[in-house]
Structure 1
C-alpha cells in the first residue's frame, strides 16, 4: 500500500458519478493517507507540442456535482484518507498562455488511472503529463489502472448546464479541522473563482458561542489549513484568508467582490450581507448556496469526546499495573459522576478530595506540619485542625495557601499511592485517580494517562446555584479558582463533557473505556 497518490479520472462525468463509491473504494485499497483526484473527462492523449499544458474544461453542473460526490462519498468509503479534488483545469477563462502546475505537499508514490486502454496506448504522454503538471522528478512513480469497475453503464440523459464563474468570490466559516463539509464549501469557492477567493475564518466571540469552543484549533492553524487547501486545489488563483469577528468580515469592506457562497445554515446571512452592501453603495453579491449534507463542525467536535486528543506517552516512573487513569476537571464539571460510571465498568477509584480531609487529621505527619506552621490557634476543642479557622488564614493570603499546599499535597499523593498499590494487590487492573487539583499539583506523573471533564461556564454556574445555593457572582469566583477548560484540552489525553443528557454522557464514557482497552499495555490486558 502507498501513503499518497494521484487518481486521474478520464471517463465521461455522468459515468464517473455513478461509479464514485466503487472508484474510491478501489483507491482506498491502494492508498492509505492522501489522495489527489484530477478530473480530465474525455482526455485527448495525442501528444501536444507542450505536454505541460493542461487540457482545460469549462465548469458545468455535472462536474460540480462530481466534486461534491467525491467528497461526500469519501466520508463513508475512505474516512481515514485525506482527499483533494484538483480544480486547476476546470475554468471558464483560459488562454493559449494559461498554465496550471500543481505543487503538492505530499510526495506522490502512485498514479491511478480509470482507463487502462488509454494508458497502454499512450504511456509516453502520461509520464510527461504527470511530470510536468505535478512538478515532480520522481522517476520511481508507479502507474496502476483501477480494475473490476463497471464503466459500461448507460449515461443518463439528465440535463447538464454550464455554470457561471466570477473574478472575486467570498465565503466564511469556522474551518476547524477541515472536514468533508469544509472541503465541499472551499471546493465550490475554488470552482467559481477565476482570480481570487476571499475566506473569512471565525474568531473571538463568534467561536465562544459554538459548542465545545475549547476544541477549536488556534486561528492561525485554521487559516493555514484553508490556505493550503486553496493552493493545492487551484494554484493559479490568489487567496485572501483573514480572521473575522463578526458575520460580515470583508463582505462589507471590499466592493470588488461579486459572489458569496453559503450553506443551508447560513443562507439568511447572504441576504443580510447584501442589505449592508446596498447601504454602502456596493455591487450586490450573487448568492450561491451549497447543499453539502455533512455534519457541522460542532458535531464533529463532539465526536472527539472520549477519544485520544493528545498522545498518551509511556510513563516509566510508575509500574505498568495497575493502570492509573487520572480524572480531573473544574468544579461542577461532573467528574465524580463520571468516575462512578467508570467504577461500574470495572475500575477502582481513589478520591483525592476525600484524602485531602485525612491529610492532616490528628496523629498524621501532615497534622504535625500544619500545626507547627500555622500555630495551635487553628485547633478545635477536640485537638483536630479546624478547617474553617485554617481557611480564614490561607484563603486571604496566596503565599500561605501555597505553604499549606506544599504540606498537604505530598501527603495526599503518598496516601493515594498506597491506595493504588493496595488495589493492585487486590487484583484491580485499572485505578482511577480522581482529583480536581491533579494538574496543578503535578500528579499527572502518577498516572499513565489523564482524562479531563469540561463544562461550559454557564452550565457550571447553574449547577453551583442549584446544588450549592451560591449566587452567580460566588459561583463564577469558585469556578475561576480551578483549572480552565482550555488547560484541560491542552494537557489531557482524553476529554469528556457532561453538558448533555445522561445517555449521551454514558455513551462518551463507554466509548472512552472501549478505546482504553485497545491501548492498554499487554501486561495489563493479560490480567483484565
Structure 2
C-alpha cells in the first residue's frame, strides 16, 4: 500500500465510490484536491458553481463525513488553497506516493499534470484511475449560513487527537478568512470536566497537530495557535476579529463572547456553527457524534505506551496492576483471575511482613514504639497509619522497612506460581520500584469525585477525609504516565469486564508473537 495518496476529484459526487476503493490502496494520509480549483491541463468540473470559498462548506462537510464512514483509518486532508485563490501547484507537506483520478485521462495529460502541478511527488510513484459513473451536474446547495469573507477568523477548543470534526471546523474557518485564523487551545485547567481528561494529549502536541494540518491544507494564511486558560481567550479583546467558528454545542459560548465585546465597545463577531459529524459505529458509553472523548474511550484496554525491555525472564509474564485508592483495582484483579492469571495481593503481603511472625515486625516496633501493639500482640494498623499519614518523613521510615522485604516476597511467589501470567496488584507498585519486575503496567483510573464518593460509602469517611486520602497519593495523571494499559471501572461491572477482556485478548496476541 502507498503511504500517502493524492486524490484528484473532478466531481465531488464521486466521493463515496472513491473513498471506498482508496481505503484499500492508501495506508496513512490521503490528500484530496477538488479539480474545480485548478486550471488546465485537466480543467475544472463546473466553472463558477461556487462564487465564494464559504460556498464549498457543504462539500467539505460531505467529504469529511463520508471519510469518517468509509476510511476512518486514514488521515484525510481536503486541500483548500486552490478553493480560495488560483494557485499554480498542489503543495503538500508529505511526499505523494500515488495519484488517483476519478476519471480517465490520456497519458500526456497525466504526465503534464504531474510535472506541472505536483512538485512533491516521489520517484517511482503510481497512478490509479478509479472508474466512476458519468458526472452529474453540480448545483449550488442552499445554505442559510453567512457566506462572507472576514480578515480575521477565530475558534477555540481542546483539539485532542485531531479528527474529522476538528478538520471540518478548522477548514470552515480557513474558507472564511482572508488573512488570519486564530485558534485558542485550552490548557489543562479547563479540561478536568472532560471524560478521561488524563488521557488528553499535552497542549504542545495538540498545538503541533493543528498547526501541521492548517499549514498543510492552506499555507497562504497566517495562523496564531495559542494557549488559553479561560473560555474566551483573545476573542473578547481583539478588535481585528470579525467572525468566530463554533460547534453546535458551543453557540452559547460565542454569544457570551459577543456580550463581553459589547461592554468593551467592540464590534460583535459573526457566529457560524458547524454541524456534528455522525459517529458511524458508536460503542457502549460513546457519543453519537465524532468526538475526542470517543477516541479516548477506545484507548481503554489497549497498549497506550510501548513496553520497555527489562532484564527479567520472559516467563511467567507479569502484569503490574496499580492505581489510586478506590479506583477499582480489586475488581480488575478478580476479572484477571477469572481469565486465568494468578493474582498477588501486595496489601496482604504487607500485613504479613509486620505481623508478629513477620520479618519486619520488630523493626517497625523499634521505629514507631510499643504503643502501636494492640491487645493480642499484633501491630494495630490504624494506630500505625495515624503515625505516618500525611507525614512524609515518617512514612518513608516505614516504607524503607517494608518495601525491600516485600520485594523479596513478591519475587519468591512469582517464581513458584505455576500460572503463565501473574498479576501483581499494588497501589504503590511504581513508587516502590516493583514495576521493574513486571513486563507491563496496568492502571485503574476513575475521576477524583467518584473516588471520593466511593471512599465515603466504603470506608465511612466524610468528604474532607476522603479528599485528604486521595491527595496523599500520586495523582491520576502520574499513574497514567507509568501506564501501558488503562482500565476505567467508572461504569457498571460488565463494561469494566469488557475492558479487561479486551486487554487480555490483546495481551494474548502480543505473547503469541
Q: TM-score, normalised by structure 1?
A: 0.86
Cα deviations by residue, 1:177-206 (Å, 9 ceiling, x for unpaired): 111111111111111111111111112432
How far apart are the structure 2 equivalents of 1:213 and 1:471?
Answer: 26
TM alignment of 1:405-424, pairs within 5 A? 405-424=399-418
Correspondent of 1:219 among 203, 206, 229? 203
How far apart are the structure 2 equivalents of 1:263 and 1:378?
Answer: 60
SS in 2 for 1:182: helix
Q: Which residue of structure 2 lines up, in the alignment, with residue 482 of structure 1?
A: 473
Q: Alpha-carbon deviation of 1:324?
A: 1.1
How far apart are the structure 2 equivalents of 1:169 and 1:115?
Answer: 36
How far apart are the structure 1 equivalents of 2:434 and 2:455?
Answer: 26
Q: Alpha-carbon deviation of 1:80?
A: 2.2
The 1:160–1:459 alpha-carbon spacing in structure 2 relative to 1, beyond 3 Å, is: closer
How far apart are the structure 2 equivalents of 1:21 and 1:401?
Answer: 63
In structure 1, stretches of 5+ residues that fail to align are: 49-54, 523-528
Q: Alpha-carbon deviation of 1:56?
A: 12
Instruction: Report whether the alignment pairs 1:114 with 2:108.
Output: no
The 1:344–1:214 alpha-carbon spacing in structure 2 relative to 1, beyond 3 Å, is: same
How far apart are the structure 2 equivalents of 1:267 and 1:119?
Answer: 50
TM alignment of 1:225-244, pairs within 5 A? 225-244=209-228
How far apart are the structure 2 equivalents of 1:57 and 1:89?
Answer: 13
Instruction: Report whether the alignment pairs 1:473 with 2:464.
Output: yes
How far apart are the structure 1 equivalents of 2:39 and 2:93?
Answer: 28
How many residues align? The count is 496
TM alignment of 1:83-94, pairs within 5 A? 83-91=76-84, 94=85
The 1:380–1:275 alpha-carbon spacing in structure 2 relative to 1, beyond 3 Å, is: closer
Asked if the contact 1:326–1:450 (Cα under 8 Å) also holds between the matched residues in 2, the reply is: yes
TM alignment of 1:197-276, pairs within 5 A? 197-276=181-260
How far apart are the structure 1 equivalents of 2:492 and 2:168?
Answer: 32
Asked if the contact 2:337–2:343 (Cα under 8 Å) also holds between the matched residues in 1, the reply is: yes
Instruction: Report whether the alignment pairs 1:304 with 2:286.
Output: no
Q: TM-score, normalised by structure 2?
A: 0.89
Q: Which residue of structure 2 lines up, in the alignment, with residue 150 of structure 1?
A: 132
SS in 2 for 1:324: strand
Correspondent of 2:117 among 129, 132, 138? 129
Correspondent of 1:72 among 40, 57, 65? 65
The 1:56–1:197 alpha-carbon spacing in structure 2 relative to 1, beyond 3 Å, is: farther
SS in 2 for 1:6: strand
How far apart are the structure 1 equivalents of 2:232 and 2:334?
Answer: 46
The 1:443–1:281 alpha-carbon spacing in structure 2 relative to 1, beyond 3 Å, is: same
Q: Which residue of structure 1 lines up, in the alignment, with residue 281 of structure 2?
A: none
SS in 1 for 2:248: coil
Q: Alpha-carbon deviation of 1:492?
A: 0.4
TM alignment of 1:58-457, pairs within 5 A? 58-59=51-52, 63-91=56-84, 94=85, 99=87, 104-117=92-105, 119-131=107-119, 136=120, 140-147=123-130, 149-152=131-134, 154-155=136-137, 159=141, 163-293=147-277, 294-315=289-310, 317-371=311-365, 373-374=367-368, 378-380=372-374, 382-395=376-389, 397-424=391-418, 428-457=419-448
In structure 2, stretches of 5+ residues that fail to align are: 278-288
Asked if the contact 1:331–1:436 (Cα under 8 Å) also holds between the matched residues in 2, the reply is: yes
Asked if the contact 2:304–2:485 (Cα under 8 Å) also holds between the matched residues in 1, the reply is: yes
226-235 or 114-123: which moved more? 114-123
TM alignment of 1:497-512, pairs within 5 A? 497-512=488-503
The 1:195–1:322 alpha-carbon spacing in structure 2 relative to 1, beyond 3 Å, is: same
Q: Alpha-carbon deviation of 1:387?
A: 3.4
Quote the RMSD (CA, aligned, Å): 2.7
